[in-house]
Structure 1
Amino acid sequence: MAPPTSRSWLSCLISFVAICASASPAAATSSSKRGLVFTPNVTHPMDNYIWTQKPSDLTWYYNYGASPSGVFSNVTQEAFEFVPMLWGAPADASDTTFLTTVKGLITNGRNITHVMTFNEPDGPSEWGGSNVDPTMAAKVWMTNIVPLQEMGIKVGLPACTGGWGGIPWTNQFLGNCSKLISTSTGGKTKNCTFDFIPLHWYGNFGGLASHIGEYQSTYNATNPKIWVTEYNFDNQDLPTTQEFFNMSAEYMDRLTYLERYSLFAAFRSDVSNVGANATMLSSGGQLTDIGAWYLGRSATGVKPTDTKSSGAVVDLDFRRCICGWDNGYYYT
């Protein structure tokens, strides 16, 4: 067979570029509100580095603990803010381990400006909740959180589930906390204060919008900010899941009182507890469309159930050069 002429090669190249352009949707809207719910992958540790590769919209993260994750040790606090969390209550309310840990981070030069408290205290442990009584939570707040407030650190209310019991639990907690604070000031009435309200939601977009609005209207007297620290539309088909992601991101990005949000999806689809289609990584460890959109990148075309890994470096480099995309992997 005769070698192709320059004209036939050019025609082929133009056709290839046209196909790439039609198959690669535009990048999702960029947002500085987006954070990472970090769930480390021990089986595939390289997955843990995806979230800080450029380009990325992620500006902050939490890991359900008081200390930053070692995998991000080479990233500055200013570039990728770590937010400590007091996940549950210690057995003894006078235990100040959390307070000591956060103070230690600050002493060692980490600029901690926000902390979160009590992960789903209204939920049972078998569902992932911390199952903390509102009275005990208030006592632990006094010993571990109030001293941080006095240092100027912004604190979040306990992050209740998206169920009906969240607001009643929060109201009981605030009542107990206010009584303890008033007692500590010699009986002078003083309310328990907070700076932001973390919310969790698993369900459709209408439910998410309603849930955000309910908390904002219930506690708007103190003008708090809202953080949605866990959310997703679990166990749906792929088109429904992608539609939810795009609608919810657009909605939360334009709410002025909603300060931050973090999609619960930073794991592979084959280990997902929110359904295979709701994840940011495929079974093979590549960024799905949702994963790429969340990072502010173009769609990858990778299905959540795809098992192919990132082995074809030459092919990916060629596609990146010609089409400007690389199936979700950026090589630095």
Structure 2
Amino acid sequence: MRTTSTLAVAALATPLALAQDSSSKRGLCYVDTKDSSTDDAIWDGSDSDLTWYYNYESTPTSGIDGSKLQFVPMQWGAPSSNTDMTFYNNVKSLIDGGSNITYVLGFNEPDGCANGGSCVDAQTAAQTWIREIEPLKKEYGVKLGAPAVTGSPNGFVWLQNFFTACAGKCSADFIPVHWYGDFQGLASHIGQVNGTYPNMTMWVTEYAYPEGNLEDSQDFYNQSASYLDRLNYVTHYSYFGAFRSSVSNVGPNAAMLTQKGELTDIGAWYLGQEATGHKPKGGSHSGAGQVAKFAGWAAVVVGAMMFLA
């Protein structure tokens, strides 16, 4: 049973304090859903705190192309042909056309072969990187993000195998990190990654507390945002939740938008705004398949949480 106390009042005041914070680290992990065209204006508005975005693709999203958000292309998986240069050509075309492409991301959860992972073996990924990604650094000075493996132990093994297969020919500048779980797990995982790659900066490109109740989801957001802002070696982060609660595959309470497309408290805080009081609700999950295409590790974590409950 909860009782009103000085500590409780202080806890209630915390979200309002965080809402005033501004962070240039925050970006948009963009997921295309049936409502995206309606909701796109939310992310790049004048009152949005976001500075960059990625969409798991090598070309910008039309609804926010040319906005204040800097686009970060991604090589999601490996092409079927070992001579394919589509990713390199697309990014080169953007740069030659005047786009500010400072960073690129390489491979989304390549160690995952179900629930949205790109399922690429380390040797193939290394060959693709050397052919299509590494030249962007040599020719244009683009900074390169290492493959974004899952938060499982297999992720560490896959990434080590990748760098071994590269034989010194893959010069990644930063390590992207994915995590789905509680705050203690997030902090521990980030610490482990930093300990493994101490000379590289880090981006947290997917993270959320899946299938939690509203209070726990909000507590996770507030703790994690404050923590990531304090870490000097974490230069960018993007919360996984930029979609409506009715199509969320990480639970409705993790979403940044309600089923009606209104900002939830988490969504408002992430954009640097005050809490809205709008409560997210679930739905038929008719659009969750599209969201699940990207948050592969989230589905595994949710399944494990249900098994352990």
TM-score range, shorter chain: 0.7 to 0.9
Per-residue Cα deviation, 1:193-239 (whole angstroms, up to 9, x for no partner): 2100000000000110111111111011xx21100000000000010
Of 125, 130, 137, the residue aligned with 1:137 is 125
1:231 maps to what in 2? 207
For the 8 Å contact 1:134–1:172, the answer to whether it is kept is: yes
Q: Distance in 2 between matches of 1:42 and 1:158?
A: 28
Given the alignment, which residue of 245, 257, 262 partners 2:233? 257
The yes-or-no answer on 1:195 pairing with 2:184 is no
Whether 2:32 is the aligned partner of 1:40: answer yes
2:37–2:63 CA contact under 8 A, matched in 1:
no
The within-5 A match list for 1:92-171 is 92-124=81-113, 126-151=114-139, 152-171=141-160
Q: Render the CA deviation track for 1:91-140: whole Å, top value 9, x for unaligned.
A: 1222111001100001111021100010000001x311000000000100
Larger Cα Rg: Structure 1 or Structure 2?
A: 1
Runs of 4+ that moved beyond 6 A: none
The answer to which of 60-69 and 24-33 deviates more is 24-33
- For residues 194 and 50 of structure 2, the distance between their equivalents in structure 1, rounded to whole angstroms, comes to 24
- Residue in 1 aligned with 2:74? 85
Alignment identity in percent? 51
For structure 2, list consecutive stretches of 5 or more residues without a partner in the other structure.
Answer: 1-12, 284-309
Flag the 1:25–1:218 CA change in 2: closer, same or farther, 3 A: closer
Question: Are the equivalent residues in 2 in contact too, given 1:40–1:48 (CA < 8 A)?
Answer: no
SS at match of 1:210: helix
Whole-Å Cα distance in 2 between the matches of residues 259 and 94 of structure 1?
A: 33
What is the match of residue 206 of structure 1? 184
Change (3 A) 1:240 1:255: same
Contact 2:73 2:91 in 1 (8 A): yes
Instruction: Indicate which of 40, 43, 48 corresponds to 1:51.
Output: 43
Instruction: Say which of 220, 239, 245 aligns to 1:244.
Output: 220
Partner residue of 2:252? Answer: 276
Counterpart residue type for residue 71 of structure 1: G
For 1:265 and 1:83, the matched residues in 2 are separated by 18
Q: Does the residue aligned with 1:259 lie in a helix, a strand or coil?
A: strand
The amino acid across from 1:91 in the alignment is S
Contact 1:41 1:47 in 2 (8 A): no
Separation in 1 of the partners of 2:137 and 2:190? 25
Task: Report the CA distance shift for 1:295/1:142 in structure 2 as closer, same or farther (over 3 A).
Answer: same
For the Cα contact (< 8 Å) 1:47–1:285, is it kept in 2?
yes
CA change 1:143–1:306 in 2 (3 A) is closer
Q: TM-score, normalising length from structure 2?
A: 0.84
Distance 2:211 2:124 in 1: 35
Alignment match, 1:324: none
- Which of 25, 30, 34 aligns to 2:22? It is 30
Cα distance, 1:45 vs. partner? 2.4
Instruction: Give the aligned partner of residue 8 of structure 2.
Output: none
State how far apart, in whole Å, the 1-side matches of 2:102 and 2:35 are. 33
> Which residue of structure 2 lines up, in the alignment, with residue 217 of structure 1?
195
Give the root-mean-square deviation of aligned CA atoms.
1.6
Displacement of 1:29: 1.7
Q: CA deviation at 1:306?
A: 8.9
Checking the alignment, whether the CA contact within 8 Å between 1:28 and 1:294 is kept in structure 2 is: no
Aligned length: 268
Normalising to structure 1: TM-score of the pair?
A: 0.78
The amino acid that maps onto 1:143 is R
The residue type paired with residue 101 of structure 1 is N
Distance in 2 (CA, whole Å) between partners of 1:297 and 1:277 is 18
Letter in 2 for 1:172: N
